[in-house]
């Protein structure tokens, strides 16, 4: 029987946000989270990717004038961490602190501008989890039962028989594995607490049907709907203390430890002050997650929240994975990409740009050194860097000013120039749409196409060939440079969420002040419309060198070291 109080304390439909990706106009708060990272191993490129996506959306919201909060942190309880600490012969908390610091350092050094860093071993989190548990318990949504079935420690996940298959381990022994992750599973049978997940099936279905943007991209929304066609058994939410000591004890039953996923998911609430006042931020939550943890975020988490009478997240943004050599990164394959090393090699912004320009949320992407070099050289060094260099070079711009626009001179513009102006004018709206739906690669594609058009415009009119001694020519030259600098100002402003350091250098070089770099400053080429341009006549900022230094491919590097070997 379904406990009465389970569903009626707060009508669930009013707890769900309508029009998932549209924030209420009067509410300028925004809350974005990354998954919290397991501390059983060092950070890798995939982890950085989750963080970079969330950082990009957070910076975008700030640029738009939102009061945005951005949480990340580490997931430190559970069997997997307990075993990793044992293997390292360290006390669990010491072990967790060390690895958690590595994540924090990585994020700080890669300009991940989190406002909150949560560790599940903190006291504030324990209090939140205990409270959350008690709410579910008091509503009769948790009962004492027994679980018998498959468990994957690597995924910290319970699996039904249909989710399990046969495989051979590296020594050739037959083992059972999760069909989804490929990780080994074990049969377990124990007394523990169960959550009435099955009760929530129709409510989850209704939520997804009424909120088609709740899980994005659409493909993953469909996946969740498909899961809901099948049986949704109750979920074990605790483990026997004898098996799992490293976790939060069940309130009132010290013989049981709370299941690590229930513990971990509550982190999103802890950050915003739960169980105390949390209503400014919780209703505007957006989660960024990898596709491997969709079930936990789109089935278990909403069910827990509905049970606790809390609003559901506005959007769950799902991304796909990075592979290396076409395969999942793994220590045993030796193909794990170290994000520290690669960010040093390609610069922070280089790494961020590559991940967001090449990463497609719908499908996996393969990471190769030469792909990074090729893309960054073409788009950041040559195209964008080249354009800035050309238009600010003393030879072309000896006075080092933001030159004047002359409408009469602009009559020399041809059809392609007008197309470019139209494209740049609509660029902010195009970019907004793609950033908001986390299709950052499409936003960058659009910016990159405009940069190419601006380069074409400058190339076509070759201002360096104009003779300054004739005032008509001088005015046309100034107009060309003015238009190009206006384009660069728009690109620099729109690129801030992706490449904050490069954008800062670019905008500083153009003389654009800090308070002139937001959504409200994206009016393009105001002089063309007959209004005043605040930048016209202003001195350019100091030249801090190339925007992005060209990188060498592995082939070029090898050739060089071969040559220098010969010379010796
Ligand atoms: N601790 C859980 C999350 C709990 S959230 C309440 C967890 N941690 S994790 O460290 O394994 O993964 C964190 C994130 O990294 C996930 O979003 C995951 O998808 C992402 N990635 C892990 N490997 C990845 C790639 N190879 N590529 C892209 N992202 C990947 O799951």
Q: At what angle do helices 45-63 and 348-358 cross, to 10 degrees?
A: 90
Distance 290 CA to ligand 1 centre (A): 6
In ligand 1, the atom with minimum distance to the C-alpha of 322 is 27
Q: Mean pLDDT over residues 57-72, rounded? A: 97
- pLDDT of 172: 87
- Does the C-beta of 34 come closer than 6 Å to ligand 1? no
- Does the C-beta of 320 come closer than 6 Å to ligand 1? no
In terms of DSSP bridges, do strands 322-324 and 365-366 run parallel, antiparallel, or are they unpaired? parallel
d(CA 239, CA 260): 9
| Domain shared by 286 and 381, yes or no | no
- Does residue 9 carry a pLDDT above 80? no
- Does the C-beta of 290 come closer than 6 Å to ligand 1? yes
Residue to mutate (ligand 1; options 46, 156, 337; most atoms within 8 A of CB): 46
Of all protein residues, whose CA lies closest to atom 15 belonging to ligand 1? 47
- pLDDT of 156: 87
Which residues, listed in sequence order, are joined to residue 116 by a DSSP beta bridge? 71
d(CA 168, CA 198): 33
- Does residue 200 carry a pLDDT above 60? yes
Q: Mean pLDDT over residues 259-282, rounded? A: 96
In ligand 1, the atom with minimum distance to the C-alpha of 364 is 27
| Domain shared by 148 and 264, yes or no | yes
| Domain shared by 442 and 554, yes or no | yes
pLDDT digits (tens, 9 = 90+) for 352-384: 999 999 999 999 999 999 999 999 999 999 999
| Residue 354 domain flag | no
8 Å CB contact between 533 and 466: no
- pLDDT of 501: 97
| Domain shared by 10 and 126, yes or no | yes
CB atoms within 10 A of CB 61: 26
| Domain shared by 400 and 488, yes or no | yes
Of all protein residues, whose CA lies closest to atom 12 belonging to ligand 1? 37
Residues 6+ apart with CB under 8 A from 89: none
| Domain shared by 249 and 387, yes or no | no
Q: Mean pLDDT over residues 435-444, rounded? A: 96
- Split at pLDDT 50, 70, 90, the class of 566 is low
- pLDDT of 2: 41
- Does residue 27 carry a pLDDT above 80? no
Residue 507 three-state SS: helix
| Residue 282 domain flag | yes
Residue to mutate (ligand 1; options 37, 39, 77, 152; most atoms within 8 A of CB): 37
Of all protein residues, whose CA lies closest to atom 29 belonging to ligand 1? 46
| Domain shared by 270 and 386, yes or no | no
- pLDDT of 26: 52
- Does residue 536 carry a pLDDT above 90? yes
In ligand 1, the atom with minimum distance to the C-alpha of 38 is 10
Q: Mean pLDDT over residues 331-338, rounded? A: 84
Distance 47 CA to ligand 1 centre (A): 6
Of all protein residues, whose CA lies closest to atom 8 belonging to ligand 1? 37
- Does the C-beta of 322 come closer than 6 Å to ligand 1? yes
Domain count, the chain: 2
Q: Which helix (H) or strand (E) holds 348?
A: helix 348-358
- Does the C-beta of 53 come closer than 6 Å to ligand 1? no
Q: Nearest-CA neighbor of 208 among 190, 195, 223?
A: 223
- Split at pLDDT 50, 70, 90, the class of 116 is very high
- Does residue 181 carry a pLDDT above 90? no
Q: Give me the DSSP letters along 7-47.
A: HHTTTHHHHSPSSTT---TT--EEEEEPPPEESSS---HHH
| Domain shared by 116 and 27, yes or no | yes
Q: Mean pLDDT over residues 503-514, rounded? A: 97
CB atoms within 10 A of CB 526: 15
- Does the C-beta of 364 come closer than 6 Å to ligand 1? no
- Does the C-beta of 329 come closer than 6 Å to ligand 1? yes
d(CA 287, CA 316): 5
Degrees, nearest 5: CA angle 96-97-102 = 95
d(CA 433, CA 427): 10
- Retrieve residue 234's tokens: 């109750």
Residue 71 three-state SS: strand
- Does the C-beta of 318 come closer than 6 Å to ligand 1? no
Distance 81 CA to ligand 1 centre (A): 15
Q: Last residue of some domain: 285, 319, 353?
A: 319
pTM of the model: 0.93
- pLDDT of 11: 30
- HSE value, Cβ hemisphere, 13 Å, CA-based, for 433: 8
Distance 197 CA to ligand 1 centre (A): 24
- Does the C-beta of 73 come closer than 6 Å to ligand 1? no
pLDDT digits (tens, 9 = 90+) for 258-268: 999 999 999 99
- Does the C-beta of 95 come closer than 6 Å to ligand 1? no
| Residue 327 domain flag | no
Q: Which residue has the higher pLDDT, 310 or 529?
A: 310
- Does residue 562 carry a pLDDT above 80? no
pLDDT digits (tens, 9 = 90+) for 513-523: 999 999 999 99
In whole angstroms, how far apart are CA 197 and each of 1, 277, 289? 13, 27, 21
| Residue 443 domain flag | yes
8 Å CB contact between 369 and 342: no
Strands (DSSP E) found in 241-394: 249-250, 253-258, 285-290, 315-319, 322-324, 327-328, 365-366
Percent of all residues in the chain with a pLDDT value above 90, rounded to a whole number? 84
Distance 291 CA to ligand 1 centre (A): 8
| Residue 343 domain flag | no
| Domain shared by 177 and 287, yes or no | yes
The maximal CA–CA distance of the chain, rounded, in angstroms, is: 91
Q: Nearest-CA neighbor of 298 among 307, 308, 311, 289?
A: 289
- Is cis: bond before 366, omega within 30 of 0? no
Chain centroid to Cα 281, Å, comes to 19
In ligand 1, the atom with minimum distance to the C-alpha of 264 is 6
- Does residue 5 carry a pLDDT above 50? no
User: In this predicted structure, which of 206-215, 399-408, 547-556 has the lowest mean pLDDT?
Assistant: 547-556
Of all protein residues, whose CA lies closest to atom 30 belonging to ligand 1? 46
d(CA 277, CA 536): 48
In ligand 1, the atom with minimum distance to the C-alpha of 47 is 15
Q: Mean pLDDT over residues 182-187, rounded? A: 91
- Dihedral over Cα of 357, 358, 364, 367: its sign: negative
Q: Mean pLDDT over residues 194-210, rounded? A: 97
8 Å CB contact between 484 and 386: no
Distance 261 CA to ligand 1 centre (A): 13
| Residue 388 domain flag | yes
Q: Last residue of some domain: 289, 319, 349?
A: 319
Q: Last residue of some domain: 253, 287, 319?
A: 319
Distance 516 CA to ligand 1 centre (A): 36
- pLDDT of 557: 76
Distance 97 CA to ligand 1 centre (A): 19
What is the pLDDT of the chain when averaged over all its residues?
92
Distance 132 CA to ligand 1 centre (A): 24
Q: Nearest-CA neighbor of 157 among 254, 297, 42?
A: 297
| Residue 356 domain flag | no
Distance 66 CA to ligand 1 centre (A): 27
| Domain shared by 509 and 409, yes or no | yes
| Domain shared by 305 and 392, yes or no | no
- Does the C-beta of 300 come closer than 6 Å to ligand 1? no
| Residue 435 domain flag | yes
- pLDDT of 344: 94
| CATH, residue 266 | 3.40.50.620
Domain range for 105 is 5-319
- Does the C-beta of 374 come closer than 6 Å to ligand 1? no
Distance 289 CA to ligand 1 centre (A): 7
| CATH, residue 445 | 1.10.730.10
- Split at pLDDT 50, 70, 90, the class of 231 is confident
| Domain shared by 24 and 149, yes or no | yes
- Does the C-beta of 294 come closer than 6 Å to ligand 1? no
Q: Tell me which residue has tokens 């483990």.
A: 239
Q: Mean pLDDT over residues 426-446, rounded? A: 97
- Does residue 14 carry a pLDDT above 70? no
Q: Mean pLDDT over residues 199-212, rounded? A: 97
d(CA 146, CA 364): 38
Distance 20 CA to ligand 1 centre (A): 24
């Amino acid at each position: 029987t379904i406990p009465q109080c389970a569903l009626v304390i707060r009508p669930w439909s009013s707890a769900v946000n309508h029009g998932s990706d549209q924030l209420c106009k009067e509410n300028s708060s925004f809350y974005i989270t990354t998954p919290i990272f397991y501390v059983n191993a060092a950070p890798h490129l995939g982890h950085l990717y989750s963080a970079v996506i969330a950082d990009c959306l957070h910076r975008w919201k700030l640029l738009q004038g939102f009061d945005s909060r951005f949480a990340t942190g580490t997931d430190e309880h559970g069997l997997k961490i307990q075993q990793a600490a044992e293997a390292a012969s360290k006390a669990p908390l010491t072990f967790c602190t060390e690895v958690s610091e590595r994540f924090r350092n990585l994020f700080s050094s890669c300009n991940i501008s989190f406002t909150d860093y949560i560790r599940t071993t903190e006291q504030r989190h324990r209090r939140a989890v205990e409270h959350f548990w008690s709410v579910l318990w008091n509503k009769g949504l948790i009962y004492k039962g027994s679980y018998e079935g498959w468990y994957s420690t690597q995924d910290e996940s319970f699996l039904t028989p249909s989710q399990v298959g046969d495989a051979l381990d590296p020594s050739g022994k037959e083992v059972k594995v999760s069909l989804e992750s490929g990780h080994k599973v074990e049969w377990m049978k124990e007394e523990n607490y169960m959550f009435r997940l099955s009760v929530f099936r129709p409510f989850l279905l209704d939520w997804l049907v009424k909120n088609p943007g709740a899980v994005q991209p659409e493909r993953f929304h469909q996946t969740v709907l498909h899961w809901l066609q099948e049986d949704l058994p109750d979920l074990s939410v605790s483990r026997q203390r004898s098996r799992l000591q490293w976790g939060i004890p069940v309130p009132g039953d010290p013989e049981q430890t709370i299941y690590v996923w229930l513990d971990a998911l509550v982190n999103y609430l802890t950050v915003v002050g739960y169980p105390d006042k949390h209503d400014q931020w919780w209703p505007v939550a957006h989660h960024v997650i990898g596709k491997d943890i969709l079930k936990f975020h789109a089935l278990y988490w909403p069910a827990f929240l509905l049970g606790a009478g809390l609003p559901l997240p506005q959007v769950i943004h799902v991304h796909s994975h990075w592979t290396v050599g076409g395969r999942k990164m793994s220590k045993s394959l030796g193909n794990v990409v170290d994000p520290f090393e690669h960010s040093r090699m390609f610069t922070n912004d280089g790494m961020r740009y590559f991940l967001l320009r090449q990463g497609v949320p719908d499908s996996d992407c393969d990471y190769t050194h030469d792909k990074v070099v090729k893309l960054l050289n073409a788009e950041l060094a040559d195209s964008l860097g080249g354009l800035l260099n050309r238009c600010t070079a003393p030879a072309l711009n000896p006075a080092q000013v933001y030159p004047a626009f002359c409408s009469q001179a602009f009559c020399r513009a041809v059809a392609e120039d007008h197309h470019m102006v139209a494209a740049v004018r609509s660029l902010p709206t195009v970019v907004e749409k793609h950033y908001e739906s986390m299709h950052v690669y499409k936003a960058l594609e659009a910016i990159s196409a405009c940069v190419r058009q601006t380069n074409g415009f400058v190339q076509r009119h070759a201002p360096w060939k104009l003779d300054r001694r004739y005032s008509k020519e001088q005015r046309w030259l100034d107009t060309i440079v003015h238009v190009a600098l206006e384009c660069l100002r728009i690109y620099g402003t729109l690129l801030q969420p992706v490449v904050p350091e490069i954008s800062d250098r670019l905008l500083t070089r153009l003389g654009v002040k800090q308070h002139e770099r937001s959504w409200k400053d994206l009016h393009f080429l105001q002089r063309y419309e007959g209004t005043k341009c605040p930048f016209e006549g202003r001195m350019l900022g100091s030249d801090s060198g190339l925007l992005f230094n060209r990188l060498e491919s592995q082939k070029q590097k090898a050739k060089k070291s071969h040559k220098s070997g010969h010379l010796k």
